[in-house]
């Protein structure tokens, strides 16, 4: 059966690499938390004008999502060309959908 799977047989070089990878993940997690807190503080404090707040929080959301895709979901790594094609294809369709719905509503 599968009794040999908990032995940690992994070469030290790879283990070190995984560890460095994890460190990068922790940094991106911290940055994501920071972006989230900033967005909530800006809105809760009502210190800025509506015209600036909305673009600003949307940009911060996009940056945060970039961290998710490129670090947490490993899109930055080798061999992720097809996933990138698929997700950007999806994003492109998403933008078209939003544009179309926006145009029929507000034009």
Please, are residues 70 and 32 in contact by the beta-carbon 8 Å criterion?
no
At its nearest, how many Å lie between other proteins and the CB of residue 80?
Answer: 8
- Helices (H) and strands (E) counted in the chain, each on its own, are 3, 0
The 3-state DSSP class for residue 8 equals coil
Dihedral angle at the C-alpha atoms of 17, 19, 24, 25, nearest 10 degrees? 120
As given in the structure block, the two tokens for residue 43 are 């809105």
In the region spanning residues 24 to 53, those forming contacts with other proteins, defined by CB under 8 A, are: 25-26, 29, 32-33, 36, 39-40, 43-44, 50, 53
Does 16 bind other proteins (CB under 8 A)? Our answer is no
As given in the structure block, the two tokens for residue 15 are 């283990």
At its nearest, how many Å lie between other proteins and the CB of residue 11?
Answer: 8
Instruction: Single out the residue of 22, 27, 34, 38 in contact with other proteins (rule: CB under 8 A).
Output: 22
* Nearest CA among 70, 62, 91 for reference residue 24: 70
Q: By the criterion CB under 8 A, which residues form the site for other proteins?
A: 1-10, 14-15, 18, 21-22, 25-26, 29, 32-33, 36, 39-40, 43-44, 50, 53-54, 57-58, 60-61, 64-65, 68-69, 72-73, 79, 82-83, 86-87, 89-91, 93-95, 97-98, 100-102, 104-105
């Amino acid at each position: 059966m599968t009794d040999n799977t908990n032995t940690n047989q992994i070469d030290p070089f790879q283990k070190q690499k995984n560890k460095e990878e994890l460190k990068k993940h922790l940094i991106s997690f911290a940055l994501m938390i920071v972006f989230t807190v900033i967005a909530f503080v800006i809105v809760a404090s009502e210190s800025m004008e509506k015209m600036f707040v909305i673009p600003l929080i949307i940009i911060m959301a996009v940056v945060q999502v970039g961290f998710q895709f490129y670090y947490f979901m490993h899109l930055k790594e080798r061999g992720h060309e097809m996933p990138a094609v698929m997700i950007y294809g999806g994003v492109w369709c998403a933008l078209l959908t939003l544009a179309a719905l926006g145009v029929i509503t507000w034009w």
